[in-house]
């Protein structure tokens, strides 16, 4: 199954911004960039899994690395705390979990 970066990023951004609440305006441009990076990572993981370049464990590790980068960028913004950032990341990934998991063929998200 093909995944689309722009579609995934928009869905993730729509889910993440409400979780950020008070810092949403300041965070919007950063969140958009990080959602696009996460979406690109998910598309790349799907392609690499499909071509047997990586296995499920490697995919999970690569996803964790991108999540960590996302978390670090969002934590640098004034007024955002760890719980708000974690809620935003979880919301962003939760909204695309079914389509991504179906595409890769296992529960990556």
Residue 69 lies in a domain: yes
Boundaries of domain holding 73? 5-104
3-state SS, 42-91, equals HHHHHHHHHCCCCCHHHHHHHHHHHHHHHHHHHHCCCCCCHHHHHHHHHH
Residue 64 lies in a domain: yes
Task: Tell me if the pTM is above 0.75.
Answer: no
Number of domains composing the chain: 1
Residue 109 lies in a domain: no
- For the stretch 57-98, pLDDT in tens is 999 999 999 999 999 988 887 667 778 888 889 999 999 999
Angle made by CA atoms 91, 47, 108, in degrees to the nearest 5: 35
The structure tokens listed for 37 are: 């990076």
Residue 68 lies in a domain: yes
């Amino acid at each position: 199954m093909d995944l689309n970066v722009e579609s995934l990023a928009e869905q993730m951004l729509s889910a993440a911004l409400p979780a950020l609440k008070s810092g949403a305006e300041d965070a919007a441009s950063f969140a958009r960039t990080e959602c696009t990076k996460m979406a690109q990572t998910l598309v790349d993981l799907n392609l690499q899994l499909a071509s047997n370049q990586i296995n499920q464990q490697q995919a999970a590790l690569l996803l964790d690395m991108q999540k960590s980068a996302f978390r670090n960028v969002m934590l640098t913004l004034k007024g955002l705390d760890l719980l708000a950032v974690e809620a935003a990341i979880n919301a962003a990934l939760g909204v695309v979990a079914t389509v991504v998991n179906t595409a890769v063929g296992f529960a990556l998200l």
